[in-house]
Amino acid sequence: MILHTPDLGADPLPLEGVLPAEILELEEEFAQAEAPIVTRLVAQRTEEELLVSGTLQTTVRLQCGRCCAWIDWPIHVNGFLVRFQEPLDEWIDLTPAIREDILLALPIVATCPPGQVCEWEERQAPPAEPVHGQDVWKALDQLKE
């Protein structure tokens, strides 16, 4: 996402777009970027600086750190903010800043979200055993005696 700064006036300029997943350069063993990145940004130029702020949204594929299943991991960067001091370069590429903010939003270790079956959790759960043994009614009978 490249801005031509001489075109920027005093009015805020909306920058809504869709960037390809490839800009993330996310080709890790545990993480893959496949979905496009939706940007809702506004560029605002003042006398001192150019301010670009807004939200970024995408979904990456991460491997659960416990059961190794691939999960869709939604990413919402609500406070994207980048500043460029005057004098501005003629061309400003926002892509590195967008890439960095999305990568920073990734978890160190992803785990299956609540509501989704994580095989690791299933293996950890001990078989349910009745607190009072198998014969609950026998215990009640003893109370009567």
Nearer to Zn ion, 13 or 71 (CB): 71
Rounded to a whole number of angstroms, the minimum distance from the CB of residue 106 to Zn ion is 16
Distances, alpha carbon 109 to alpha carbons 16, 23, 68, 80, in Å: 31, 22, 11, 23
Nearer to Zn ion, 73 or 80 (CB): 73
Nearer to Zn ion, 61 or 66 (CB): 66
Tell which residue, 40, 101, 107, 97, has the closest CA to residue 73: 107
Rounded to a whole number of angstroms, the minimum distance from the CB of residue 63 to Zn ion is 9
Are 37 and 24 spatial neighbours (Cβ–Cβ below 8 Å)? yes
Nearer to Zn ion, 4 or 123 (CB): 123
Q: Which positions touch Zn ion (CB under 5 A)?
A: 64, 66-67, 112, 118
Measure the CA–CA gap between 24 and 102, rounded to whole angstroms: 8
Rounded to a whole number of angstroms, the minimum distance from the CB of residue 115 to Zn ion is 12
Rounded to a whole number of angstroms, the minimum distance from the CB of residue 35 to Zn ion is 20
